Structure 1
């Protein structure tokens, strides 16, 4: 795929690629997608096979050949970043006027447009978050939940709404989906759903799911408006179709109105959002719903080395050699590289230090920090890696943290750039002019060494590099066009690349790629995570690892720790998903077990939340290792057993429950799950006296003992 289909500039005149040039830039399978812009098509696109390239070239070919009118095409995806990338690709192909939006953005635009004509006045305000309405609903029902519980309830409400489940039908639907409401039975959860809707109605507001539901209802009730929308949008493209949920599919069907001008693109092997209501069945069943639809498989992986692809194919291959989930067998197109490596460490702290060493060595060999990522299963794992990277002075970014365009230095720079539009002399090269303006915001040609100054500089330098990219696409671009590009990216949250190692959960990493990827915590209990019990849940965990593996272009490291804390029993094992794959793929396992690096003084540092990184100021926060805004990471069953044991012990001794252990200490025990006295006594709130009184029984409960029986034994022993 070396032929370029981008606009070319010669002697100041820009020429756009013709239809044949657009097809010439594609491989055979991609060309099959692009050359048929009309009718129903399903594209099963494996990781790294160029799906965005294929569908944007399909639209561009359709426009250039006269088969499509750009303003009548609606391209749908799931993130503002992906929609922004699609618009950028189409602009590079010289195609303007195509609407590329998320489902919610497209629906909201139509809802605002048609609401005054159907209902009158402005559309209802959208709640920025569900928390307040959920809290009021619980208050009316005399239900008490902490912030974590409220967040879980909001997630369950979202699942019900995107699955088109009403309060009356919730109990049956939850049973079919094997869902357990957080801290409630299904009847109580159905009541929360009903009262939540009452609260919204009384406040005159809607939530994000209502945008889709209300627009669909409006189109069903008003055939004239539905006809208007269908006249406007004649051709639809849906990216990441494996992530479509029931309400999105229902709205898409309404938009189509029985027509077949629909191209869907997805990969069932990358279905990792089932817990939100997403289902790959829409992708699998597409041909039966659209008879005569063409199916094209994209199998040529242009991202990763053959060694990485071999491991990925192994993860996606069922016993007997069949492909799992209806995905594709990838064929690597890159040159060979190093074999994926599996490293073993003694404990989590040693693993974090070892991972930081891997990053340091990669950067010392010339790898840019922005091309290195550390991926993990849960957000709670991030803190240890942040601390280890900081110790070595390595810049990093936490994906899902503060958004790029909300950073103070970026806001300040944008104001300065906007002001520079009027003073643009039209002669100074745009990149030079932008850098001159950014100097006023703190940018310099000398890179600061570490710390906050380096982080600020990296943000500003990303804007400078963006100016280079804008000129690369549009050589005649001036400051006004550059500011417009920034505004579009800010609206779509399509941030430019910032120099720094990326820390991200596997869910947040989907759709991204790096030269060097370190998959950390690849052990049973994390991958698959302990809460995954059913076959479907275990399958989703395997797909998460598949997504992580296929993020790597050149170097792939997998790491795991034998124990959570130093000195505790080595109870972990490598992820079962790797069984039988290491020898067959050329994957190498690092010999020996790595412990904590010797000879380094232990630094005193401010306690920070292991989930979000904020400083911990309250004693209860320091005990649990989490701030009050972040969710707990313990197993609910374990915590419930400990609470039942504590209540029984306190009752037998005629003392308040907190005298046995405070809630914070009990939470810390549930999260650490120590296996011996040494591990238990390291938890804040467990001194030598309480270790003597309660240590054996706490360990017995953690080991699966019946709380009531263990409590009775404790009371008898302490009464002697």
Structure 2
């Protein structure tokens, strides 16, 4: 695959991309598997979309490029950015992991007994199904554990453990709760099959099974995809890692982008070893680090660098910027949640009273949803308008 590219002939498209030296190096590199360590605000999406545009300009058919993202929003943004660079981008396989799995299973799932018109169960469907299973098996007292059972089953699928493997493990452990979960998992899968349905975990789990068991199909897609790109690689779980490897292992035509410092999904199965051990997993892999930040001020980056450097489970890097110093970062110690929310209120009130700011200029971040309550109480009491993003209001 690398030998088919003629980088020199694509100087025009490279000139109009406005890439910095490290971004340009990453965009032009195709010799071996590539890990792009992209710090926050370093132009990760720009680099990834530029690389795809260069592949197309170099003669690779868009339909032979696979780009995997974590959200539909990210996929849509990447499509638009690529279209802004080159009009010849129709047909790219640009999907989330789940959408890719659904596509492959609808086309080839019959090879492992999956009907083409399968339903996809969401979280509400899962809850209803687990509720029914508990009722039918005299386990109504476990109703409060429904989210736990859903999580355990999803985790098993993320680890590529089917109901039979889970049963064997439970029997070996002899743990009562694990045996109960194994029983529920087994019944759950049987009922999914009867309904002609898959859940989101199945979309990747079953796709891995399909590619593992059907050598001809796996080899077809290994030949079909001339290049495979994965966004947010630090957030991949084991099943996603296996899927990526199955599609790219033969030709080593892989580029992943991520940053261990931005891992946020370990609670739902993301395995940081996937990005930390990329160079071990893929022979002759190269790592290119993007460190020039375009988003933040110098003071913010200095503070962030001093905090994250204490994390030992990371690839060393030091973000820098040509932006100005900006305001100093303030650290305020408060006696509790109420004191904290009142401090924030007073700060906002003071700045808006100056006439230089409006309420729409402020954002309050918090670590957990529960922490919004004290801010909401204070803002409501003081009649400060606000809206919650990504959750629901307490009031």
Q: Is 1:381 equivalent to 2:375 in the alignment?
A: no
Which of 47, 54, 60 aligns to 1:68? It is 60
In 1, distance between residues paired with 2:147 and 2:41?
Answer: 34
CA shift at 1:208, angstroms? 0.7
Which of 274, 294, 298 aligns to 2:290? It is 298
Higher relative contact order at CA 8 Å, sep ≥6: structure 1 or structure 2? 2
Partner of 1:33: 26
Structure 2 regions of 5+ residues with no counterpart?
1-9
CA shift at 1:278, angstroms? 0.8
Contact 1:45 1:328 (8 Å CA) reproduced: no
CA shift at 1:56, angstroms? 1.1
Partner of 2:160: 164
Partner of 1:47: 40
CA shift at 1:42, angstroms? 0.7
CA shift at 1:380, angstroms? 1.5
Larger radius of gyration, structure 1 or 2? 1
Q: Is 1:613 equivalent to 2:393 in the alignment?
A: yes
Which of 105, 111, 134 aligns to 1:111? It is 105
Q: Runs (4+) of structure 1 moved beyond 6 Å?
A: 171-174
TM-score in terms of structure 1 length: 0.48
2:305 match: secondary structure: helix
CA shift at 1:241, angstroms? 0.4
Partner of 1:407: none
Change beyond 3 A, Cα 1:63–1:204: closer
In 2, distance between residues paired with 1:202 and 1:277?
Answer: 28
| Structure 1 vs Structure 2 CA RMSD | 3.0
CA shift at 1:46, angstroms? 1.3
CA shift at 1:170, angstroms? 4.4
Which of 391, 397, 415 aligns to 2:387? It is 397
Partner of 1:356: 345
In 2, distance between residues paired with 1:55 and 1:278?
Answer: 21
| Deviations 1:100-121 (CA, angstroms, capped at 9, x unpaired) | 2211112212222334687585
| Structure 1 segment 32-431 matched on structure 2, within 5 A | 32-37=25-30, 39-64=32-57, 66=58, 68-95=60-87, 96-97=89-90, 98-115=92-109, 122-129=116-123, 130-144=126-140, 149-167=145-163, 169-170=165-166, 185-318=177-310, 324-362=313-351, 366-367=356-357, 372-392=362-382, 394-401=384-391
TM-score in terms of structure 2 length: 0.84
Structure 1 regions of 5+ residues with no counterpart?
1-15, 175-180, 402-611, 616-720
Change beyond 3 A, Cα 1:114–1:186: closer
Partner of 1:516: none
- Count how many residue pairs are aligned between Structure 1 and Structure 2: 377
Contact 2:373 2:394 (8 Å CA) reproduced: no
Contact 2:192 2:198 (8 Å CA) reproduced: yes
Contact 1:226 1:255 (8 Å CA) reproduced: yes
In 1, distance between residues paired with 2:115 and 2:35?
Answer: 41
| Deviations 1:430-479 (CA, angstroms, capped at 9, x unpaired) | xxxxxxxxxxxxxxxxxxxxxxxxxxxxxxxxxxxxxxxxxxxxxxxxxx
